[in-house]
Structure 1
Amino acid sequence: MAKYASFGKRENEKKKQARRVEKQNRKEERKSSGKATSFEDMIAYVDENGMITSVPPELRQKEEINQEDILISTPKKEDVAPVILRGRVDYFNEAKGFGFIRDLSGTEKYFFHVNNVVDDISVNDIVTFDLERGDRGLSAVNVCLENK
């Protein structure tokens, strides 16, 4: 049996053939132009303002910078004196051994464990404490009654 080729199929085949020919022409055109760009054309320079240019910088405009003035590492943290905070015991569960202190100067609540308590405390006592960063955020340490 002979193949039946409709008008639409023939037109699609012609379009595909035209695209193949066009692609082949572009490929040959690229090859014929060759390596027109040299290594010098590919080099880019950065001027003193940080802009990319194709012109090399002039040597007389170069500014000398002392190597010791360049800071590479992050600055050291300054030693901050530990601030003793005041707060009220908001919740304390002796059976489980933990509680929360509400800071008097703000609305922050800090967790504390019974191991970090110096004196015997109960709910609504005014206490002083230090803060320490734990696994789950800030927690109160060195918790003691304010009257002492």
Structure 2
Amino acid sequence: MASGTVKFFNSEKGYGFIVPDEGGKEVFVHKTGTRDSLWEGDKVTYEVEETPKGLNAINVTKA
């Protein structure tokens, strides 16, 4: 499990980005990847999935 901080999340459009604690590229998160409501600054844990468009966070939960 990776951990990070929500940098941005648009609840109307249903997506945002997580900054990984270990550094590296920001990770895209879609509303289908979490059951929690996400807000800027939330600490989260998640799994990373590689897609053709880049990194995607799944199974996101607030830490």
Q: Secondary structure at the match of 1:120?
A: coil
Determine the structure 1 residue equivalent to 2:55: 138
TM-score normalised according to structure 1 size: 0.41
Separation in 2, partners of 1:137, 1:108: 9
Count of aligned positions: 63
Which aligned segments of 4 or more residues in structure 1 are displaced greater than 2 angstroms? none
Separation in 1, partners of 2:57, 2:49: 6
Q: CA RMSD in A?
A: 1.0
Q: Which has the higher helix share?
A: 1
Aligned positions of 1:79-94 closer than 5 A: 84-94=1-11
* Aligned AA (1:124): G
What's the CA shift string for 1:87-140, capped at 9, x where partnerless? 000010001100000001114200010011121221100000000112301111
Determine the structure 2 residue equivalent to 1:114: 31
Separation in 1, partners of 2:37, 2:14: 12
Separation in 2, partners of 1:89, 1:110: 9
Determine the structure 2 residue equivalent to 1:98: 15
Using CA pairs below 8 Å that are at least 6 residues apart, which structure has the higher relative contact order?
A: 2
Q: Which has the higher strand share?
A: 2
Separation in 2, partners of 1:135, 1:118: 24
- Structure 1 runs not aligned, ≥5 long: 1-83
